[in-house]
C-alpha cells in the first residue's frame, strides 16, 4: 500500500473520530434527515424523492451512535443474560444503521457519483471500527458466552439455536478472543480492508467508463445485428459523436465481440474489456489487490488460520480448502476433454471458412457463433425479437405465479432512486397477503457497475410479533430500448434474468424470525443453487409458451426454435465449464497464499491458467484487476460456489422434471423446505428435507452432456 494512501486513510479516520455528534446535532439529524426520520411511505420504503447525497454522511454518523446505544443497553442490563435480552437484543440492534447503510451502499453500486463514492470511503472505516468495537467488547461477549454455554438447557427452536450458534461463532471469527497487540493489528487491518474493497470497485467502474470505441466506417460493422447497430448509433448520438459508439458495458461489448467482422477492432475491444484496472494509472488495481490479499491473510493469521481460504470456508458447506480444490480439480479434469473438443471444433470451422492460423481469444466468440448458427441454424439475432424485455418480465412473473402463487402489481406511488427503475408490490394471490416490494433496474448507465445482481434494502423478519416484509432490488445491464425497437434480450440475458430472479424469490418467500437468517442469508456455496435452478426454465417449451412472441407480429416462438434452443444447451458446455472453473481456481489461488504476496499479479493468473486455460494469456490483460466478485464483493474464497451450486441446482431440477416443471406438490415442497427457510438450518438439512437425499453429480454431468 502506498504511504500516501495510508496517510490519507489515517487522517480520514482521525477526522471522523474527532467529529462525534453532540446531542444537538443528533436531534437535528433525527428531525430533519429523511434517511433516519420515520418513513411514512408505502410499506416504509425509502423516500428516494427526499434523499439527497449530503444526507448520507450525517445519517450514517447518527445511525452508528444509535447502534452504540443499543449495544450499551445490552451490556448495562442488570438482569442475568438470557436468549431474549442478549441474543435477540443483539440481533435487533442497529436497525437504523441497517436501514441507512442499506440505501447508501446499494445505491453506490447502482446509482453512484463521485460525492457518494467519497462518502462511502469516509464512512467504511468508521463502520468497520464500530463492528470491531462490538465484536471485541469483552463484556458483551461474556454475556453471549453465558447464553451459549447454557444452550442445551434452554428451550430453543431450531432457528433460535441457529442464531445463537451464528452469533457466538461470529464473535470469535471477528476477533473476540484477540488481546493486546493482536487486537490492534486486527482493527487496523479490517479498517484498511474496508476502504480498499471500495477502492477496487471504484477503480474498475471508472476504468470501464473511460473506454469508448467510435466506429465511423459502417463497413467495419457489416453483418452486425440491427439491434446492436441501433444501440451503438443511439450511444453515439447521446455522446454527440458521429457513427457508432461501443462501450465496455456488457450488452455493447458482447454484441461487438460476437459479430464484428473487423478482427483488429475485435482485438482492440477484447483487450480493453480484459485489461480493466490494469493500465498503470490512477485506476490501476494491481497494488490494491496485493494490499487486499495481504490484509486478508493477516486477519486470518491473527485468528489462527493458515490462509484466508481456511478462515472463510469454515462455516460453508465445503468447510475446507482441500474440499474446494479437490472439487474444482475434479471438475477441471472432467470438463477439459470436452473443452478441447469445443475449441478444436471452432478452430476447424474457422480454418475451413477462410481464417488462417490459430484462433486468438478475440476470435473464439465470433467463430463459435457462426458455427453454432450453421450447426443449429439459430442465432441470438433470430431469437431476440421473441424476447422483448417486457414480455420476458411478464413471463417470469407468470412463472412465479404458477410455482408459488405470487402476483406482481406495479406501484407508481413508491419513490424510485432512478427514472429507469420500476417498482412492484408482490402479493400471494390465494391469501391476498403482501409479500415484498420489488425494485427492478434493468439498463446500463455510467453510475452503475457492470453485471447483474440481487440485493435488498430491507430483509424480512419478525419483531415483537410484527412481521416486516422485505424490500428487494434486482439490478441488470440489458440493452436499452431505442427509438425504433424495445429492449430485446439475448437468450443468455433471459437466463441471467431468471438467475437473478431466483435470488429475488429466495428473498420474497422467506418466512424467518430473524433478519440475519432470512432470505439469501445462507452459505455462499448454497445460495447460488436457488438462482441457477431457475435458469433451467429457459429451455422449456411450457415456460417459453407463456411469453415468447414476436414483438412486431405477435407470433408465438416456433416449436423448431425451441427445439434448437434445447439442442444448443450443451453447445460449448466444456468450454464454458472450464472458463467458470478458471475463475474458481484463480480465486482459490489468491486466497490460499500462506505468506504475504509481493510478486507480479499476473503470475497468480498463470498458476490458475495452467490448470484451467486452453489459450495462451495475452500481455497486458488481467482478470484479477476487474474481479469484483472476490476483491470488491462477498465471494472471496467462495467463487467455487457457482459450480458447487450448479450441482445442487441440477439435482433439484431433476425433481421437477420427474413430476412436471410446474408441479404444485414439488414447488410447494421446494418453497416450504428451502426457499422460505433462509439460513434457519444448515443448508444440507434444508436440501435433504426437500429432496430426500444429498445432491449428487449425476444430474449435473448429464445436463452438461459429460455423461449419457
Q: Provide the annotated active-site residues.
A: 500
Name the strands in the sheet holding 471-475, side by side, starting at the edge strand that comes first in the sequence: 406-410, 422-428, 433-441, 471-475, 453-458
Buried b (16+ CB within 10 A) or exposed e, 177-196: ebeeeebebbbbbbbbbbbb
Q: How large is the C-alpha radius of gyration of the chain? A: 26
- Rounded CA-CA distance 641/580 in Å is 11
Helix (H) or strand (E) holding 143: helix 138-149
Buried b (16+ CB within 10 A) or exposed e, 313-327: beebbbeebebbbeb
How far CA 407 is from CA of 122, 360, 429, in Å, comes to 41, 48, 6
- Rounded CA-CA distance 512/655 in Å is 25
Any idea what DSSP says for residue 318?
S
Determine phi and psi for 266, rounding to 5 degrees. -60, -45
Determine the length of the chain.
708
Residue among 654, 576, 634, 646 at smallest CA distance from 201? 634
- Rounded CA-CA distance 12/91 in Å is 30
Q: Give the strand pairing for 471-475 and 433-441.
A: parallel
With a CB cutoff of 8 Å and minimum separation 6, the contacts of 261 are: 220, 221, 222, 223, 224, 366
CB 695 within 8 A of CB 327: no
Cell of 457: 434494502
Residue 25: half-sphere exposure toward Cβ, Cα within 13 Å: 13
Buried b (16+ CB within 10 A) or exposed e, 643-656: bbbbbbbbbbbbbb
Determine phi and psi for 176, rounding to 5 degrees. -60, -30
Q: How many C-beta atoms lie closer than 10 Å to residue 440's C-beta? A: 22
Give, rounded to a whole angstrom, the gap between the first and last alpha carbons of the chain: 52
Residue among 398, 406, 392 at smallest CA distance from 668? 406
Q: How many C-beta atoms lie closer than 10 Å to residue 382's C-beta? A: 14
Helix/strand/coil (H/E/C) assignment for every residue in 514-553: CHHHCCCCCCHHHHHHHHHHHHHHHHCHHHHCCCCECCCC
CB 626 within 8 A of CB 285: yes
Cell of 93: 440492534
Cell of 611: 490448470
How far CA 105 is from CA of 102, 117, 148, 348, in Å, comes to 6, 9, 33, 48
Q: Give the strand pairing for 433-441 and 422-428.
A: antiparallel
Residue among 508, 408, 497 at smallest CA distance from 458? 508
Q: List alpha helices for 536-640, DSSP H.
A: 541-544, 559-567, 573-591, 601-612, 628-631
Amino acid at each position: 500500500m502506498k504511504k500516501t494512501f495510508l496517510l490519507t486513510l489515517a487522517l480520514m479516520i482521525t477526522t471522523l473520530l474527532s467529529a462525534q455528534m453532540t446531542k444537538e446535532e443528533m436531534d437535528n439529524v433525527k428531525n430533519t434527515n429523511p434517511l433516519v426520520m420515520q418513513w411514512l411511505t408505502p410499506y416504509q420504503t425509502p423516500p428516494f424523492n427526499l434523499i439527497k447525497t449530503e444526507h448520507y454522511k450525517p445519517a450514517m454518523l447518527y445511525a452508528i451512535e444509535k447502534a452504540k446505544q443499543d449495544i450499551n443497553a445490552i451490556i448495562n442490563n442488570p438482569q442475568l443474560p438470557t436468549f431474549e435480552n442478549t441474543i435477540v437484543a443483539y440481533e435487533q440492534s442497529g436497525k437504523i444503521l441497517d436501514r441507512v447503510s442499506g440505501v447508501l451502499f446499494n445505491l453506490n453500486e447502482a446509482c453512484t457519483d463521485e460525492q457518494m463514492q467519497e462518502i462511502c470511503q469516509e464512512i467504511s472505516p468508521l463502520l468497520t471500527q464500530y463492528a470491531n468495537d462490538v465484536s471485541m467488547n469483552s463484556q458483551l461477549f461474556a454475556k453471549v458466552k453465558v447464553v451459549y454455554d447454557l444452550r442445551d438447557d434452554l428451550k430453543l427452536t431450531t432457528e433460535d439455536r441457529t442464531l445463537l450458534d451464528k452469533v457466538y461463532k461470529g464473535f470469535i471469527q471477528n476477533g473476540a478472543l484477540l488481546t493486546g497487540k493482536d487486537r490492534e493489528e486486527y482493527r487496523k487491518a479490517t479498517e484498511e480492508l474496508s476502504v480498499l474493497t471500495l477502492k477496487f470497485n471504484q477503480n474498475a467502474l471508472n476504468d470501464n467508463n473511460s473506454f469508448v470505441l467510435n466506429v465511423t466506417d459502417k463497413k467495419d460493422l457489416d453483418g452486425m445485428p440491427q439491434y446492436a447497430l441501433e444501440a451503438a448509433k443511439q450511444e453515439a448520438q447521446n455522446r454527440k459523436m458521429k457513427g457508432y459508439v461501443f462501450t465496455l458495458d456488457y450488452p455493447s461489448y458482447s454484441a461487438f465481440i460476437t459479430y464484428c467482422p473487423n478482427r483488429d477492432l475485435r482485438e482492440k475491444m477484447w483487450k480493453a474489456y480484459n485489461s480493466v484496472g490494469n493500465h498503470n494509472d490512477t485506476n490501476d488495481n494491481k497494488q490494491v489487490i496485493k494490499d487486499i490479499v495481504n490484509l486478508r491473510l493477516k486477519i486470518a493469521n491473527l485468528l489462527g488460520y493458515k490462509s484466508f481460504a481456511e478462515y472463510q470456508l469454515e462455516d460453508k458447506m465445503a468447510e475446507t480448502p482441500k474440499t474446494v480444490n479437490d472439487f474444482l480439480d475434479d471438475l477441471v479434469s472432467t470438463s477439459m476433454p470436452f473443452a478441447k473438443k469445443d475449441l478444436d471444433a471452432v478452430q476447424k470451422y474457422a480454418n475451413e471458412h477462410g481464417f488462417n492460423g490459430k484462433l486468438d481469444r478475440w476470435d473464439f466468440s465470433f467463430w463459435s457463433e457462426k458455427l453454432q448458427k450453421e450447426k443449429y441454424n439459430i442465432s441470438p439475432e433470430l431469437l431476440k425479437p421473441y424476447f422483448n424485455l417486457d414480455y420476458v418480465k411478464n413471463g417470469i412473473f407468470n412463472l412465479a405465479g404458477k410455482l408459488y402463487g405470487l402476483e406482481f402489481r406495479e406501484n407508481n406511488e413508491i419513490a424510485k432512486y432512478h427514472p429507469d427503475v420500476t417498482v412492484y408490490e408482490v402479493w400471494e394471490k390465494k391469501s391476498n397477503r403482501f409479500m415484498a416490494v420489488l425494485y427492478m433496474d434493468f439498463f446500463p448507465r455510467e453510475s452503475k457497475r457492470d453485471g447483474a445482481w440481487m440485493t435488498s434494502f430491507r430483509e424480512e423478519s419478525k419483531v415483537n410479533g410484527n412481521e416486516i416484509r422485505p424490500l428487494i432490488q434486482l439490478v441488470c445491464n440489458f440493452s436499452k430500448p431505442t427509438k425504433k425497437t424495445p429492449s430485446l434480450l439475448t437468450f443468455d440475458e433471459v437466463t441471467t434474468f431468471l438467475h437473478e430472479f431466483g435470488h429475488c424469490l429466495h428473498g420474497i418467500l422467506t418466512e424467518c424470525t430473524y433478519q440475519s437468517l432470512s432470505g439469501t442469508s445462507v452459505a455462499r456455496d448454497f445460495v447460488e443453487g436457488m438462482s441457477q435452478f431457475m435458469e433451467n426454465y429457459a429451455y422449456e417449451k411450457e415456460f417459453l409458451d407463456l411469453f415468447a412472441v414476436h414483438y412486431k407480429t405477435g407470433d408465438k416462438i416456433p416449436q423448431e426454435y425451441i427445439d434448437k434452443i434445447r439442442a444448443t444447451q450443451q453447445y460449448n458446455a466444456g468450454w464454458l465449464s472450464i472458463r467458470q472453473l478458471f475463475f474458481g481456481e484463480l480465486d482459490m489461488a489468491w486466497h490460499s497464499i500462506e505468506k504475504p504476496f509481493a510478486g507480479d499479479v499476473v503470475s497468480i493468473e498463470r498458476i490458475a491458467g495452467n490448470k484451467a486455460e486452453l489459450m495462451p494469456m495475452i500481455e497486458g490483460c488481467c482478470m484479477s484487476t476487474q474481479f469484483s466478485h472476490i476483491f470488491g464483493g462477498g465471494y472471496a474464497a467462495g467463487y467455487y460456489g457457482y459450480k458447487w451450486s450448479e450441482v445442487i441446482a441440477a439435482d433439484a431440477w431433476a425433481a421437477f422434471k420427474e413430476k412436471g416443471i410446474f408441479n404444485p406438490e414439488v414447488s410447494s415442497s421446494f418453497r416450504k423446505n428451502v426457499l422460505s427457510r433462509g439460513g434457519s438450518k444448515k443448508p444440507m438439512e434444508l436440501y435433504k428435507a426437500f429432496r430426500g437425499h444429498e445432491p449428487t453429480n449425476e444430474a449435473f454431468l448429464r445436463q452438461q452432456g459429460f455423461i449419457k
